[in-house]
Amino acid sequence: MTIQEIDGHFMAMALREAEKAADDGEVPAGCVIVEIPDGEISMPAQCRILGRAHNQTEGLVDATAHAEMLALSQAFAAKGNWRLAGCRLYVTKEPCPMCAGAIALGRLDAVVWGASDPKRGGSTVFDIFRHPGMNHHPEIVPGVMEAQCVALLKGFFKARREI
């Protein structure tokens, strides 16, 4: 398998998490963090899922309960380390500045997202992953399963406006 196919596999998992968020009335964002063995993979089964979550800000009454933050906490605990070198994070919507900062501080190898956020994106607007003040700069892979991620977000917000 190519890295693009593997990225698609794990983004599909993140989309399932996002659907859970939508079902709970949360903004539909989902996240999966995987550890890549020795930096090389040929199939998803070689990877270890360290964390998976969906937005829970409303349910937990916590502004920081974004999918990425919850998945990061799980991954830190699973790995027993706050450094997540050798890991890729998959999220359906571009991380906000808070999440982007936590991702960069967590030293993940790559951030893969579906839908970009041109209004509040931690990368496209605030450029946190490339900011010279940050001492870690993960690989950025935008647009994976973009159409599906965008459709889920648009459908959610359209339904909210109709209420």
Point out the residues that are catalytic.
68
Cα separation, 55 vs 70, in Å, equals: 8
| Beta pairing class for 87-93 and 30-35 | antiparallel
Helix (H, G, I), strand (E, B) or coil at 22: helix
Within 10 A of 56 (CB to CB), how many other CB atoms are there?
A: 18
Cα dihedral 113, 115, 119, 125 sign: positive
Q: Identify which of 10, 5, 14, 7 has the alpha carbon closest to the alpha carbon of residue 153.
A: 14
Q: Identify which of 49, 33, 45 has the alpha carbon closest to the alpha carbon of residue 5.
A: 45
